[in-house]
Amino acid sequence: MTEAMHLVLIVEDDAGLQNVLRILFEANGYRVVAAGTARDGEDDARRYNPDVVIVDLGLPDRDGIEVIKGNRTWSPMPIVVLSARTAETQRLKAFDNGADDYVVKPFSSPELLARVRAVARRQARGLLP
Ligand code: CA
């Protein structure tokens, strides 16, 4: 199985950034579903069962941490936080609630892609959750 088959769910309320991420992942062979709120993100996660979720923390309706917690009640799907929040307490909170990786904005596109490949590989090896 190649990464070309992977479906990425992007939960990001900034429409411009959501578009940048969509273009980035589609250009690298991923299928993309995008949501702009925590609620839509949780609904899309259940509907599409993505291979990887990328979640912003500053969402308009709820904190992105709630998306992570919600997904973790039913799925081990890899979750990568993409946030402008750099505080250690935020990163620890994300990891302790089920995030698999944490990337700080502004981010490096090659590094984000590499981290997504890494969590997808760990998932494929049965090393996650
Ligand atoms: Ca945001």
Residue 5 has pLDDT above 80, yes or no: no
Distance from the CA of 63 to the center of ligand 1, in angstroms? Answer: 9
SS3 47: helix
Distance from the CA of 81 to the center of ligand 1, in angstroms? Answer: 11
Return all residues near 19 (Cβ < 8 A) that are at least 6 apart: none
Distance from the CA of 101 to the center of ligand 1, in angstroms? Answer: 17
SS3 8: strand
Match 């981010």 to its residue by tokens: 107
Question: Rounded to an integer, what distance in angstroms lies between the CA atom of residue 81 and that of residue 104?
Answer: 8
What pLDDT is stored for residue 8 in this prediction?
97
Match 């949501």 to its residue by tokens: 35
What pLDDT is stored for residue 3 in this prediction?
44
Instruction: Tell me the pLDDT tens digit for each residue of 21-62.
Output: 999 999 999 999 999 999 999 999 999 999 999 999 999 999
Instruction: Tell me the pLDDT tens digit for each residue of 69-121.
Output: 999 999 999 999 999 999 999 999 999 999 999 999 999 999 999 999 999 99
Residue 59: name the closest of 26, 92, 10, 128 by CA. Answer: 10
pTM value is 0.94
And the tokens for 10? 């992007």
Distance from the CA of 14 to the center of ligand 1, in angstroms? Answer: 6
